Structure 1
Amino acid sequence: MTLPELLAARAAADPDGVAMIVDGVGELAYRDWDARANAVANKLVGQGIAPADRIGLIFPASGWIDYAVAFMGVLRAGAVAVPLSDRLPDAEVGQLAVHCSMAAILRPGEEWASGTDTTPPPVISRPGDPAQILYTSGTTGTAKGVTATHANLAYGVRPEPRHQPFRHSKHLVHAFPIGTNAGQMMLVNALSAHPAVVTSPRFTPGRFAGLIRKYRAGSVFLVPAMAIELINAGVEPMESVLLLGSAAAPLPSAVASELTGLFPKAMITNYYTSTEAAPAQTIMLFDPERPGSVGRPAAGGGVRVTSADGAPVPAGETGEVWMRSPAAPRAYLGDPASPVFRDGWVRMGDLGYLDEEGYLYLVDRESDVVKSGAYKISTLKIEEALHAHPLVKEAAAFGVPHAVLGTSVVAALVVRDSVAPEEMRAFLGERLAGHEIPARLLTVEALPRNRGGKVDKRALRALA
Structure 2
Amino acid sequence: MTAEDLLAQDFGTIADVIRAQAQVLGDKPALVDARRTVSYAELDALMDRIAAALQRDGVGKADVAAICASSSVEYGAVFFGTLRAAAIVAPLAPSSTPESLVVQLNDCGAKVFFLDRQLADHMAGVLDQVTATRVSLDGSDAGQPLEDWLAPEGSKPVLHEVEPDQGFNIIYSSGTTGAPKGIVQPHRMRWGQIRRGVYPADAVTMISTPLYSNTTLVSFLPTISNGGTAVLMPKFDVKQFLELSQKHRATHAMLVPVQYRRLMEYPEFDRYDLSSYRMKFSTSAPFSAELKRQILDRWPGGLVEYYGMTEGGGSCGLQCHEFPDKLHTVGRPLPGHDIRLIDEDGQEVPQGEIGEVVGRSGAMMVGYHNQPSKTSEAEWWSPDGQRYIRTGDVGRFDEDGFLTLMDRKKDMIISGGFNIYPSDLEAELHQHPAVVEAAVVGVPSKAWGETPVAFVAVKDAVAADELRSWVNGRVGKTQRLADLQIVDALPRSHIGKVMKRELRDAYQGPATA
Q: TM-score if structure 2 supplies the norm length?
A: 0.83
Per-residue CA deviations over 1:196-239 (Å, capped at 9, x if unaligned) read: 22232221222222222222322222001111111222333344
Q: Secondary structure at the match of 1:294?
A: coil
CA change 1:169–1:76 in 2 (3 A) is closer
> Does the 8 A contact of 1:317 with 1:354 survive in 2?
yes
Alpha-carbon separation, structure 1, partners of 2:27 and 2:477: 62
Task: Select which of 207, 221, 230 maps to 2:263.
Answer: 230
Q: Secondary structure at the match of 2:442?
A: strand
2:423 partner letter: L
Alpha-carbon separation, structure 1, partners of 2:470 and 2:337: 39
Map of 1:37 onto structure 2: 47
Map of 2:159 onto structure 1: 123
Per-residue CA deviations over 1:405-445 (Å, capped at 9, x if unaligned) read: 12221111111102244653465357532322322221111
> Does the 8 A contact of 1:393 with 1:414 survive in 2?
yes
Map of 1:463 onto structure 2: 506
Map of 1:355 onto structure 2: 398
Task: Select which of 305, 310, 330 maps to 1:275.
Answer: 310
Shift of 1:124: 1.0
Q: Which runs of 5+ in 2 are unaligned?
A: 1-11, 116-136, 508-513
Alpha-carbon separation, structure 2, partners of 1:446 and 1:327: 35
2:87 partner letter: A
CA change 1:91–1:339 in 2 (3 A) is closer
Q: Between Structure 1 and Structure 2, how many residues are aligned?
A: 455
Map of 1:381 onto structure 2: 424
Alpha-carbon separation, structure 2, partners of 1:258 and 1:301: 29
Per-residue CA deviations over 1:352-381 (Å, capped at 9, x if unaligned) read: 111122111111001111112221111122
Q: Percent identity over the alignment?
A: 29
Alpha-carbon separation, structure 2, partners of 1:191 and 1:212: 18
Alpha-carbon separation, structure 2, partners of 1:68 and 1:3: 13
CA change 1:76–1:218 in 2 (3 A) is closer
Shift of 1:180: 0.9
Shift of 1:193: 3.6
CA change 1:306–1:70 in 2 (3 A) is same
2:81 partner letter: G
CA change 1:430–1:205 in 2 (3 A) is farther
> Does the 8 A contact of 1:320 with 1:352 survive in 2?
yes
Alpha-carbon separation, structure 2, partners of 1:79 and 1:215: 33
Q: Which runs of 5+ in 1 are unaligned?
A: none
> Does the 8 A contact of 1:369 with 1:376 survive in 2?
yes
Map of 1:141 onto structure 2: 178
Alpha-carbon separation, structure 1, partners of 2:324 and 2:482: 29
Task: Select which of 156, 175, 200 maps to 1:167.
Answer: 200
CA change 1:253–1:437 in 2 (3 A) is farther
1:197 partner letter: A
Alpha-carbon separation, structure 2, partners of 1:49 and 1:169: 35
CA change 1:435–1:213 in 2 (3 A) is farther
1:340 partner letter: A
Alpha-carbon separation, structure 2, partners of 1:174 and 1:430: 43
Map of 2:3 onto structure 1: none
Map of 2:439 onto structure 1: 396
Q: Secondary structure at the match of 2:244?
A: helix
Per-residue CA deviations over 1:67-112 (Å, capped at 9, x if unaligned) read: 1111122122222111001232321111112222222212213355
> Does the 8 A contact of 1:152 with 1:330 survive in 2?
no
Per-residue CA deviations over 1:132-157 (Å, capped at 9, x if unaligned) read: 11111121112111112222212253
2:169 partner letter: Q
Map of 1:405 onto structure 2: 448
Task: Select which of 83, 86, 104 maps to 1:78.
Answer: 86
1:412 partner letter: F
> Does the 8 A contact of 2:88 with 2:167 survive in 1?
yes
What pairs with 1:240-259 in structure 2 (closer than 5 Å)? 240-259=276-295
Map of 2:69 onto structure 1: 59
Alpha-carbon separation, structure 1, partners of 2:197 and 2:28: 13
> Does the 8 A contact of 1:164 with 1:194 survive in 2?
no
Q: Secondary structure at the match of 1:293?
A: coil
What pairs with 1:53-452 in structure 2 (closer than 5 Å)? 53-61=63-71, 63=72, 65-107=73-115, 108=137, 109=139, 110-113=144-147, 114-128=150-164, 129-158=166-195, 164-167=197-200, 170-237=203-270, 238-263=274-299, 265-277=300-312, 280-286=314-320, 287-327=323-363, 329-336=365-372, 338-341=376-379, 342=381, 343-421=386-464, 424-425=467-468, 427-428=470-471, 432-452=475-495
Shift of 1:312: 1.5
CA change 1:125–1:391 in 2 (3 A) is farther
> Does the 8 A contact of 2:356 with 2:395 survive in 1?
yes
> Does the 8 A contact of 1:165 with 1:193 survive in 2?
no
Alpha-carbon separation, structure 1, partners of 2:355 and 2:464: 33
1:281 partner letter: S
> Does the 8 A contact of 1:168 with 1:218 survive in 2?
no
> Does the 8 A contact of 1:173 with 1:197 survive in 2?
yes
Shift of 1:382: 1.8
Shift of 1:456: 0.9
CA change 1:383–1:232 in 2 (3 A) is same
2:307 partner letter: Y
Alpha-carbon separation, structure 2, partners of 1:208 and 1:4: 29
Q: Over aligned residue pairs, what C-alpha RMSD do you find?
A: 2.3
2:39 partner letter: A
Per-residue CA deviations over 1:300-329 (Å, capped at 9, x if unaligned) read: 212111122332211111111011122464
Alpha-carbon separation, structure 1, partners of 2:79 and 2:201: 28
Alpha-carbon separation, structure 1, partners of 2:475 and 2:324: 19
Shift of 1:295: 0.7
Alpha-carbon separation, structure 1, partners of 2:474 and 2:113: 51
Shift of 1:35: 0.7
